[in-house]
Amino acid sequence: MAGNPVKWVSLILASSLFFDLVLAADTHIAKKTYIVQMDKSAMPKSFTNHLEWYSSKVKSVLFNPEKEGDAGDDDRIIYSYQTAIHGVAALLSEEEAERLEDEHGVVAIFPDTTYQLHTTRSPAFLGLEPEDSTSVWSQKVLDHDVVVGVLDTGIWPESESFNDTGMTPVPAHWKGKCETGRGFEKHHCNRKIVGARVFYHGYEAATGKINEQTEYKSPRDQDGHGTHTAATVAGSPVRGANLQGYAYGTARGMAPGARIAVYKVCWSGGCFSSDILSAVDRAVDDGVNVLSISLGGGVSPYYRDSLSIAAFGAMEMGVFISSSAGNGGPDPVSLTNVSPWITTVGASTMDRDFPATVKLGNGRTLIGVSLYREQRIRRSINKQYPMVYMGSNSSSPDPSSLCLEGTLDRRLVAGKIVICDRGISPRVQKGQVVKDAGGVGMVLSNTASNGEELVADCHLLPAVAVGETEGKALKNYVLTSPKATANLAFLDTRLGIRPSPVVAAFSSRGPNFLSLEILKPDVVAPGVNILAAWTGDTGPSSLPTDRRRVKFNLLSGTSMSCPHVSGVAALLKARHPEWSPAVIKSALMTTAYVHDNTGNPLRDSSTAAPSNPYDHGAGHINPIKALDPGLVYEIKAQDYFEFLCTQSLTPAQLKFFSNRSCQHSLANPGDLNYPSISAVFPEKASITTLTLHRTVTNVGPPVSNYHVVVSPFKGASVQVKPQTLHFTRKYQKISYKITFTTVSRQTVPEFGGLVWKDGVHRVRSPIVITWLPPL
């Protein structure tokens, strides 16, 4: 953490300022949405049900309720929460919210906040065999139906990925419904899509009524994001899937036998916490086993994070929650969704690419990527076009070099290939700007923040993306050669790319500044150039000017990696229905790998250097190994609550999560039985020894013997006791302790690992040792 203290301190201060701004009331707005969390157990006996009591509380603080007109107290409540969280979402003025906060039985009041979306080959890359193979993953699991709830932009039900042929009837325990609206009828639900609901009251309260002529006020997906994530989780196999010929093959979700329940919480103007909470609450009550949430809204203290609180409630009910880490990388401390009861997923590449070339007039050929496809380019395949770069040098972008709207002079770019620097505006939109200005093609150049990471896009004109190094060489050529020319060529799909996987540059990074003792992200999974189903309402570039329509699209983001983990979690739940959310997470983390297909440590795409646990967490998921992890780290709901008891929360703030009591069973936050290990030495240099505790549960053969291997560290010696674990029965628990003794305090964190081995299983935990700088 001490490696870049200025940046981290400024990020933390900026985050604190953001949270203060969010909590400040906008005095000129009469009412806005507040989430009112209630203590369910405090309801007086005079009320017959909780909603009646909640309504009474809201009504008691209203100013002049008799003058409310058509916005009476009954209309003030837009949602009631009954399962994962208890309370209501209500329209209140700032003064009314303040009065309500002082009422007996009110636990907390949060203002509504906005969340954003974190925007084929992957099953094979992850080792999941085709459905007709003899793999354990392909066996029909008829007695343990798993339902995955997807909180997103809805679904395009006509996609072949949601075909229910051969699926058994919807399980009897399922309580979800198929809500209807424009473009979505009852028949659009089937044995694959078992539920579809919409949540928009919070969104409308903040932005006004949804225009139903331009947006579907129904589960139908206009954006495409929700269709893509749902298909990645549990899409049925579709042979011949492709995007304009690219990535041709069979598209298949991680858990093709699982059911999908759609909870549409995101609209054209964003996703609001009151809607998200209602969706989580309803999904848990409906009976989902897994929740896939590919969105985030920044980081706030646990007790101020309404999604974290709702997720705690869902976890108590046995629901596994997978969330995207965010696309704020490669900056440090850029993670979202960091609560330990949420599985936080970063993004990595696969061994598939879409190469394209830029052949320069001086004979040099640069390698990049593209998903552009149009026949007319082939008629001029060898023709050289003049090139232009509107920037003044090869290193520092400016508005013209970024190809922002209105910055290109048609007289200078018409008929030419334009070099555009990446940043500020969407990549595909830069191509549209070039096209509008008369350009014939574009080369999209990475800058320092993106490094050598290449993300392919379905551009509207011939375009190739190149890395920072190639981009600098290209810009230097154009700036020093008055008659610079180039030709763009597109080489289709290539497999077997080495090295892979690589941690995506955009994938958000740790450390988790809320709790350094909880290492985040938890794992990484495929999130770059992922092929999955797409909406029929939007072109593959998502630009309004894109009139193309496709059945499948290639997208990148931690939004894409999250449903990979959600789907694998569904498979694990199907094979091991007795496993808790913590056990599923443990199996995913302790079996993850940290070496690529060349046998070298995983790399960071932004630097080409080895990545570390702040980048990749425990490593890249390995579904086959996760099926049989050998040992697991179980965490009960009370254990998570004990962790909160170490976080300097007041008794009132702890009540946001549960009515449980602190037993003070954890000596420090690092003693939470987490699958990763983070040792944090305090500022006092006199403290040179730190001991952490863990307990493993045997889920492998009844009789098993494990020995431990720990990587060496420069700044500390590490001792594990006992060094061997002897199990005599399944589900037996054995505890061990890890003692860290400082040898030489380091100014930057050190990374390593601890592995328990029995000759078959390798149960690995990443280790991070941090020495906080002296005060």
Residues with catalytic annotation?
Answer: 152, 225, 559
- Contact present, 39 and 654 (Cβ < 8 Å): no
**String of DSSP letters for 591-643:** T-B-B-TTSSBPEETTTSSBP-HHHHTT-B--HHHHHS-SEE----HHHHHHH
- How do beta strands 355-360 and 441-445 pair? unpaired
Q: In this structure, how many other beta carbons lie within 10 angstroms of the beta carbon of residue 760?
A: 10
Name the 3-class secondary structure at 92. strand
- Contact present, 633 and 671 (Cβ < 8 Å): no
- Contact present, 185 and 296 (Cβ < 8 Å): no
How deeply is 13 buried, as exposed, middle or buried, from its count of CB atoms within 10 A (0-12, 13-18, 19+)? exposed
Q: Cα 211–217–218 angle (5° rounding)?
A: 165
- How do beta strands 502-503 and 603-604 pair? parallel
**String of DSSP letters for 169-203:** PPPTT----B--BTTB-GGG--SSEEEEEE--HHH
Handedness of CA 131, 137, 139, 142 (dihedral sign): negative
Q: How many whole angstroms separate alpha carbon 290 and alpha carbon 562? A: 12
- How do beta strands 689-698 and 733-742 pair? antiparallel
- Nearest CA-CA partner of 456 in 424, 485, 431, 487: 431
SS3 per residue for 668-703: CHHHCCCCCEEEEECCCCCCCEEEEEEEEEECCCCC
Name the 3-class secondary structure at 150. strand
- Contact present, 386 and 411 (Cβ < 8 Å): no
- Contact present, 415 and 437 (Cβ < 8 Å): no
Q: How many whole angstroms separate alpha carbon 129 and alpha carbon 154? A: 28
- Contact present, 619 and 755 (Cβ < 8 Å): no
How deeply is 733 buried, as exposed, middle or buried, from its count of CB atoms within 10 A (0-12, 13-18, 19+)? exposed
Q: How many whole angstroms separate alpha carbon 728 and alpha carbon 701? A: 9
Q: In this structure, how many other beta carbons lie within 10 angstroms of the beta carbon of residue 741?
A: 13
Sheet of strand 689-698, all strands in order from the earlier edge strand to the far edge: 631-632, 689-698, 733-742, 716-721
Q: How many whole angstroms separate alpha carbon 296 and alpha carbon 309? A: 14
Strand pairing partners for 348? 503, 526
- Contact present, 474 and 443 (Cβ < 8 Å): yes
User: Tokens in use for 119?
Assistant: 């925007």
